[in-house]
Structure formats: C-alpha cells, structure tokens
Amino acid sequence: MNSMVDVLVIGGGVAGMEAAGQLARSGYSVILAEKEPLTGGHLKNWYHLFPDRRDGNEVGEYLDNLVKNKNIEIRNNTCITGITGRKGKFTATASDGQVVEAEAVIVATGFDLFDSRRKEEYGYGIYPNVITSADLEKMFRNGSVKLADGGVPARIGFIHCVGSRDEKVGNLYCSKLCCITAVKQAMEVHEKISGVKTFCFYMDMRMGGAYYEEIYREAQEKYGVSFIRGKVSEVSQGYNGRLVIKAEDTLAGRPLRMELDMVVLMAGMEMSDAGEILAGKSSLRRGENRFFSTADNHTASNRSNMKGVFYAGTCTAPMNITESISHARAAVTEVVSYLREKKQRDE
C-alpha cells in the first residue's frame, strides 16, 4: 500500500492525536500511525488526572472526537520503524511492510514506563503486593484496591523516583510527574479505603505545576499522608507475608524499617522502544537521556535535526498531558508554516 499525504503523525497518543486533529482542522491530510490496536496511548490506563482529579476518559473523549475527521486516516497496528527522505518528501516504512509517503512528519512516539523489574531490590515481579503506579490506576478503574490474596491493605507505601534520578539505571533526569501522581494516588487510596495509612518515600517533592502544591497540602492536612524524605533501599517479605521495607529518614537522620501491606512503585518515564527503533533506522539524533534531542531547547523544541520532521510530546522529554497537548499544537504551527513555505517555493 502506497499513499502520499501532507503529514504523517507517528504515534497515536495524546500528542499525536492532538497534532493530527489540529492539522486536519486546518485542512491538511494526515495519516496517524499507531502501533497498538487502539489510539489513546497511556491515557487509556489513567483513572483520574492530577491536579483536579477529573476522569481521564474525558480527555480521551475530547481526543477521540478531535481525530474523527475526514482528513485523518488512522492506521492502527502500524509501527513505523524508519524514515528516509529529504525535505518535502519522506518515506516511512512500517514493520508490516507498509510504506507511507508524506511531505512532513510529526514524531510523537511518546514514552514507556520504566520497567520496575530492573530495580530488583524493590521486588516487583517477585512479591505480589509490590505494584506500580500504573497497576494502581488499573485497580482504581476496577473499583477496588486489593491485595493479591483479596485482602484490604491497611498500610501502603509509595516509593518515588523508581527509574528516575537514578544513576545506577542510567536515568539521571526527573520524570516530573511521579511526585504529583503519588500525592494524587495516596489521596485516592484514602477515599477508597477508610482508615488506611499511607507513606510516601521521596527524595524531593517537585510540585512545580499549577495547583500541585495545593493538593500536596491537602494530602497532608485532609488525608494525613505521611511524607518521609529518604529513598527506600530494599523491600523484602517478612514471616507473616507482609512487606518489610528498609529506608532512611534523612530528616530525622536515622535508618528506618517498616512493615507495609502494599508497596506502590512510582515508575518513571523512559524513551519508548518504538522511539528507539525509529532513531536506529533514521538519522534522528538523541540526547544523553536517550530522548530525541530538539534543534533548540528554548526556541525550536519541536524541530529535529531533519528538516521537515518535527517532534510532539514526550518523545523529547517527560511531560504531563497539559504540556503534551501544548507541545503538539506548537508542532502543528511549525508544520503549517513549513508546508506553506514549501508550497510558495514550489510555485
């Protein structure tokens, strides 16, 4: 199958859908390639969004409506593995052999969640009551937070920075949204289970967003979430089957052992595998943090080193949904002016 469109958008998550939708509204023909059977990306897995805790599905519906446009052809199960070509004409190939030709490309390959099994000391995949933040969202969505044996947890610990700010796993950067996610999830746990005790183990609380600090305060004042500054060194299982964590309370300056029923790992964001594959089969450059590197941090954060190929969303750095949508719209303005200039040159 060979088709020529104005713009190819690689990745049907938040950024990709927003970019495709906005381009279509301006009259450009778009192919939206998504490697999964459904669009929506990670958003599909999130229950409530911070900071206002609205249902994630609401944003999902907005995006679904946005891409329902005759100018957009959505190609699901299409994993783009390489881009070749020069300004004005790009050829993208998919893993199943499809070829897409486009005048411009938006790369919106997004992120993958850090595989928490790589921090084996936290016991993910070994102890059933060690779960990730994504697993907890799933539990929220299903309506109940339960232990593996069906019991109700009385004490839950949240471990921040799993796979972020960690030299040992090779990720020096901050994933930006795990702190606020932990605050949100701790509050929600309190709402689902009365009398539960929650503990957040953090390195720094990075509450740099609108209304973040407010809900951090609410978590402490209204729900009594305990915030302990110090990284957890290891999780093990005691005689009674409960989890035992070892940590250090760096404010009190002493080591700490604590029994918990459930441990939630706040998994960070990493360059997605799909992005890695694409980078390997194109000349797109990546930074030391393995995300795609933009042409200019401040003034061209949507441009890549290939003229006519643009970036949108978390394939360049960790971002929340608000930022991903803004970044995608910014990418659209770049694409539109690029295509206009090209048209003028061609005439």
Q: Which residues bind another protein (CB under 8 A)?
A: 117-118, 120-121, 123, 125-127, 167-170, 233-238, 244, 246, 257
* Secondary structure element (H or E) that encloses residue 186, with its range: helix 178-192
Q: Are strands 54-55 and 48-49 parallel, antiparallel or unpaired?
A: antiparallel
Query: What is the smallest separation between the CB atom of 255 and another protein, expressed in angstroms?
Result: 10
Decide if 136 contacts 153 (C-beta within 8 A): no
- Residue number with CB closer to another protein (48 or 246): 246
Q: How far apart are CA 139 and CA 177, in angstroms?
A: 19
Structure tokens at 248: 């250090």
- Residue number with CB closer to another protein (36 or 115): 115
- Residue number with CB closer to another protein (55 or 121): 121
Query: What is the smallest separation between the CB atom of 289 and another protein, expressed in angstroms?
Result: 12
DSSP state of 293: P
Query: What is the smallest separation between the CB atom of 89 and another protein, expressed in angstroms?
Result: 34
Query: What is the smallest separation between the CB atom of 78 and another protein, expressed in angstroms?
Result: 24
Contacts of 206 (CB under 8 A, 6+ apart): 174, 176, 179
- Residue number with CB closer to another protein (69 or 289): 289
- Give the residue from 128, 84, 104 showing the smallest Cα distance to 29: 104
- Residue number with CB closer to another protein (244 or 300): 244
Contacts of 140 (CB under 8 A, 6+ apart): 47, 48, 185, 188, 192
Query: What is the smallest separation between the CB atom of 293 and another protein, expressed in angstroms?
Result: 17
